[in-house]
Structure 1
């Protein structure tokens, strides 16, 4: 019995040491100074492409743009996107360009704590310094809203942010937005948008029990989206089988209308309303070109 008790005590001690190490384990790296001059218009465009307005605006409740608060209900609890206005207390008015860069590309707040992956920061990891500078310049033009977004409603153990360090180690991967040789400029631009700013895989790729995307099932669809909605497959073969063409998909990203005359619903309707309809025709066509690529496109 003493031996069993000793082993049990030793195991508990090892677990405690390991847990302490994980909690103390620093994540992320200090960003380099952002010295590039930002372009407000390009930043506003990138914010639309990245879904910032759609996620961080609670328009249904009469909220101001980018003031946060729109609930995102998941199996892990309900997440409330934060206030991104220039309010210094409740928004990002007290941030620096460098802390903004770390949040966008690394998913880590100014306090050093990791963000929950409800924020799709893995898709933004390859944003350039120019992208960050442009976004930062655009966000500086947003009027302050002195209201805090509600706290996340997440139960134990998912509310333990130290656990996100393990999640990041397992699921925070390079989004792969860099251009590939031998492909057209339109295809590579579509790749950059689909796998990066537009973060299509956030909804159209299934997730495991830990909330990580399945890399072997990229873009095959997801039947378990927040709020109980679904996202269909957007792999080239499935899109073609369902009658999509580059022209019709480009048009749908502008209007929300499908080849059958139906209209997008749910979260995709919001994506079009607050995001893709603001893209240039060339960028919408690039997205469609990439997704409908006969050689695999998004499923490369």
Structure 2
């Protein structure tokens, strides 16, 4: 009996040590390639950073709720999900409460690996699964632009997550399964505008994070990417944005680009809710970028939209 108990104790110790090893941020870096960093001798392009900021819709989640100035990124928005409620953090350039004391390397690693400067995992409610596609230079430019915004004092409250999702360390296993670490690589067989649209939609724009169905682990089902799915916050169905008849099939590139600028659909309706906040950001993009996003979305394989099981 004593030997059996000692054996069980030893197995438990091995299990704990294995869990700690596999869930360490360092373990992810050993399995995936090291995150590339931008050339430190290259001065950041703040204007490019501004474009990427609006492509990413950073204000939609991180702007202080109920304030008219959407460039005050003090956070506080309550993002509800099937795993609990996440409270969006302060990402203003405040030295203590935001990201003002971060280095460019800190920012790049957070955006690509989902790791904080002090070595903690970020939950994938922060869509680094999309941001990992961004180039190191673009991330450097984005960070430089964000440091020009107003510093906002105050930190947001802790996430409200039930067990076992409140064990942040477990995110390390999720990353090993679903965070591949690949930077976007242009397809030489496609036009420059089609590649640009692909990059904007799947990188900074992170459109699939809302417009896709997810598995039980909360990861995007690749076969359902951009075909719509349940709203993570429980507000109905997020629409299909592939060129299927249940999505944007039959739309022209001009009509898609117009929606991204004004929110108007071909049926003279206007998008609202979270998509209205997205349009407030995409309206700030150069027209060529909106058209590139439209061209890319209309080039996708048509996929039928999500239907709730009866």
Number of equivalent positions: 297
The Cα of 1:212 is off from its aligned counterpart by: 0.8
Instruction: State which of 100, 122, 126 in structure 1 corresponds to 2:129.
Output: 122
Tell me which residue corresponds to 1:60: 66
| Alignment of 1:132 onto 2:153 | no
Aligned to 2:184: 177
Corresponding residue SS for 1:285: helix
Aligned-pair Cα RMSD in Å: 2.5
- Paired with 2:105 and 2:228, the residues of 1 have a C-alpha distance of 35
Q: Does 1:44 align with 2:50?
A: yes
CA distance in 1, matches of 2:229, 2:245: 14
Deviations 1:222-253 (A, max 9, x none): 12422434212112223676542211111011
Partner of 2:297: 291
Q: How does 1:153-192 map to 2 (within 5 A)?
A: 153-174=160-181, 177-192=184-199
Matched, 1:263 2:270: yes
Cα deviation, residue 168, structure 1: 0.2
TM normalised by structure 2 equals 0.86
Q: Are the structure 2 counterparts of residues 250 and 298 from structure 1 closer, same or farther at C-alpha, using a change threshold of 3 Å?
A: farther
Query: Any idea what the Cα deviations from partners look like across 1:47-90, whole Å, max 9, x if unmatched?
Result: 11012121211333667621111110111111112111121110
Q: 2:287 matched to 1:281? A: yes
Give the 4+ runs in structure 1 shifted more than 6 A. 1-4
Paired with 1:262 and 1:246, the residues of 2 have a C-alpha distance of 17
Once residues 86 and 176 of structure 1 are traced to their aligned partners in structure 2, the CA distance between those partners, rounded to angstroms, is: 26
Moved more, 2-11 or 163-172: 2-11
- The 2-side partners of 1:261 and 1:73 are apart by 31
CA separation of 1:161 and 1:34: change in aligned 2, threshold 3 A:
farther
Q: Which has the larger displacement, 181-190 or 86-95?
A: 181-190
Moved more, 24-33 or 76-85: 24-33
Matches within 5 A, 1:1-300: 5=5, 8-24=8-24, 26=26, 27-28=28-29, 29=34, 32=37, 34-35=39-40, 36-60=42-66, 65-174=72-181, 177-238=184-245, 242-273=249-280, 275-293=281-299, 296=301
When normalised by structure 1's length, the TM-score is: 0.89
Q: Which has the higher helix share?
A: 1
The alpha-carbon deviation at position 11 of structure 1 amounts to 4.1
* Distance in 2, Cα, partners of 1:203 & 1:256: 17
Structure 2 stretches lacking a partner, 5+ long: 305-310
CA–CA distance in structure 2, aligned partners of residues 144 and 241 of structure 1: 40
1:283 deviates by 0.9
Q: How far apart, in 2, do the equivalents of 1:245 and 1:77 lie?
A: 39
